[in-house]
């Protein structure tokens, strides 16, 4: 088996070019004599040849060191996570400009430190953690406080962090192949995934612990604001803190998935080369990933355009922070799923919303132009058909693609949306709610049943119906003009040799990756 030094994909023995990127493969070195390289099972488990360094008794120490690792083993994970971790403070430098408008505090002169730490704590919400902040205002002996919690996922920062980590992991994989001449094995894969997850969790936890905003401002009240004959200043107190533990767990999970995809791709392809069912699902999963990536990019751009047209410049700038969220909600609504706003309270009765509040078939208070969102669903189906044709999937492969696409897209749509809750502990003084307060909340998202049904139908259209439409092949283009001039003398007819027996035609999936069914 030959391993490409450029992309790390393993190709079958004797191949001259990489089956993934098409670059020439390095020539295999001549096999050493058995007396020069006698490898035993114990040596293979130790990851080396012959006796371990330090003598026969050092094998237990080397195993323990390999499990924990030193600076050299941890450095690839650290180097991959550092650029992704740097994305959070860099984005917070821009995000801090919009913090006063986001909290409706434009009239207060918040310091740069308060705005930046608040933005940094908000940035940790990109990993699914809630963002909590407290606003206390008032004059005199008591302050009226508001404890607010905001949940928004996924965010644009989530994708930026994931892209930065992905490129770092790809660089670490190429460095490993250049150093060892091979991709990671199973034991090394588990260690790399664990190290990357731990480093990402540690970096996120450190940022979350540092991202705490605490600011107090005072203003003179109006002439009538007098308490006990003394003019009391108006006090404003703002506190924002990141939920570092949920953010660390979310970043660790995302980093582990990315590390598994970056380092384990060669192992998965090698296993798929030997197992037929795994090969079929690998092709379907690859097509599903391509379709989801292109679809999310297109719908995010469409969501930004809709917000810019409907809400103006300010709303468009705010939407830049949640572009993937907008894209998923727009695609779900255009697919036919219901979308609505639910209210809840622990004191006041809130009527349950009629499911769904609005959909493509019942716009309610929305304008007729919202029916144009169905174009997003049509475009997603076309992208899915393109992915099926690009990977040359047969009917069974397209069915696997439809199921995978519907399940993954439904999960992303159901996670998208926003939720906000506000607890007011001191607002009802002198009533039956004194000392207890009350909580109100809002949630905005897609309906579960509508999402599942719509995605199944559109996945069937994109993966099963559209690829089945026959496409006429183009006529071959001549390589050059037909030469003019006197006719050339005809050559003597050479008797044709008997044609070779026809070769068996490989299935479409094997033509893509160059696999031989004899080994499947």
What is the mean pLDDT, run by run of 10 residues, along the chain of 520 residues? 70 70 65 42 39 41 52 92 95 86 76 90 91 79 78 90 95 91 90 95 95 78 47 75 92 96 86 87 92 94 89 78 92 92 71 64 86 94 95 93 96 92 65 61 90 96 89 46 47 49 45 40
The kind and range of the H/E element at 246 are helix 244-263
pLDDT at 18: 75
Grouping H, G, I as helix, E, B as strand and the rest as coil, residue 487 is coil
pLDDT at 1: 60
pLDDT at 474: 45
Question: How many angstroms separate the Cα of 244 from the Cα of each of 257, 389, 420?
Answer: 20, 44, 19
- CA–CA dist 212, 205 (Å, integer): 12
Chain centroid to CA 407: 15
Q: Where are the domains of the chain?
A: 74-221+231-274, 276-426+435-469
pLDDT at 219: 61
- CA–CA dist 256, 250 (Å, integer): 10
| Sign of the alpha-carbon dihedral angle for 5, 10, 15, 19 | negative
pLDDT at 293: 93
pLDDT at 139: 64
pTM score, two decimals? Answer: 0.74
- CA–CA dist 261, 277 (Å, integer): 19
**Nearest CA among 123, 81, 335 for reference residue 247:** 123
- CA–CA dist 255, 80 (Å, integer): 10
Grouping H, G, I as helix, E, B as strand and the rest as coil, residue 242 is strand
Grouping H, G, I as helix, E, B as strand and the rest as coil, residue 134 is strand
Beta-bridge partner residues of 358: 339
- CA–CA dist 31, 393 (Å, integer): 39
- CA–CA dist 360, 371 (Å, integer): 6
Q: Are 30 and 22 in contact (CB under 8 A)?
A: no
Tens digit of pLDDT for each residue in 280-312? 998 999 999 999 999 999 999 999 998 888 877
Task: Please give the DSSP secondary-structure letter assigned to residue 475.
Answer: P
């Amino acid at each position: 088996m030959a391993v490409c030094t450029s992309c790390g994909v393993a190709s079958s023995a004797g191949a001259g070019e990489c089956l993934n990127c098409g670059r020439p493969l390095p020539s295999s070195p001549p096999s050493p004599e058995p007396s020069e390289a006698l490898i035993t099972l114990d040596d293979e488990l130790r990851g080396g040849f012959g006796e371990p360094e330090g003598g026969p008794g050092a094998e237990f120490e080397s195993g323990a060191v390999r499990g924990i690792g030193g600076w050299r083993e941890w450095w690839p994970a650290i180097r991959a996570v550092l650029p992704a971790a740097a994305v959070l403070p860099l984005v917070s430098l821009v995000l801090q400009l919009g913090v006063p408008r986001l909290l409706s505090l434009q009239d207060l002169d918040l310091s740069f430190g308060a705005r930046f730490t608040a933005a940094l704590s908000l940035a940790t919400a990109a990993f699914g953690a809630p963002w909590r902040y407290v606003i206390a205002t008032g004059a005199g002996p008591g302050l009226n406080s508001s404890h607010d919690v905001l949940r928004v996922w996924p965010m644009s920062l989530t994708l930026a962090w994931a892209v930065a980590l992905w490129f770092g992991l790809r660089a670490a994989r190429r460095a490993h192949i250049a150093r060892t001449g091979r991709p990671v094995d199973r034991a090394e894969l588990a260690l790399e995934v664990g190290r990357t997850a731990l480093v990402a969790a540690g970096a996120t936890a450190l940022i979350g612990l540092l991202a705490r905003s605490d600011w107090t401002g005072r203003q003179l009240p109006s002439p009538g604001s007098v308490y006990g004959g003394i003019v009391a200043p108006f006090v404003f107190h703002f506190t924002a803190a990141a939920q570092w533990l949920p953010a660390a767990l979310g970043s660790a999970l995302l980093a582990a998935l990315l590390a598994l995809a970056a380092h384990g791709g060669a192992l998965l392809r090698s296993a798929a080369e030997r197992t037929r069912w795994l090969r079929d699902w690998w092709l379907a999963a690859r097509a599903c990933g391509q379709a989801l990536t292109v679809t999310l990019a297109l719908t995010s751009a469409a969501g930004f355009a809709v917000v810019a047209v409907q809400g103006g410049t300010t709303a468009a700038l705010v939407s830049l922070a949640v572009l993937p969220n907008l894209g998923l909600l727009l695609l779900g609504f255009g697919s036919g799923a219901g979308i609505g706003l639910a209210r809840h309270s622990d004191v006041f009765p809130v009527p349950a919303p009629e499911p769904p509040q609005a959909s493509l078939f019942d716009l309610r208070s929305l304008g007729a132009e919202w029916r144009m969102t169905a174009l997003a669903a049509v475009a997603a189906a076309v992208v899915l058909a393109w992915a099926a044709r690009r990977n040359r999937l047969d009917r069974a492969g397209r069915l696997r693609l439809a199921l995978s696409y519907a399940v993954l897209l439904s999960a992303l749509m159901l996670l998208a949306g926003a939720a906000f809750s506000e607890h007011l502990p001191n607002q009802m003084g002198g009533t039956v709610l004194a000392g207890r307060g009350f909580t109100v909340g809002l949630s905005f998202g897609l309906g579960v049943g509508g999402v599942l049904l719509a995605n199944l139908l559109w996945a069937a259209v994109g993966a099963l119906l559209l690829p089945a439409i026959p496409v006429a092949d183009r006529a071959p283009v001549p390589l050059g003009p037909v030469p003019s001039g006197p006719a050339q003398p005809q050559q003597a007819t050479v008797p044709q040799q008997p044609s070779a027996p026809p070769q068996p035609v490989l299935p479409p999936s094997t033509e893509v990756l160059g696999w031989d069914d004899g080994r499947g």
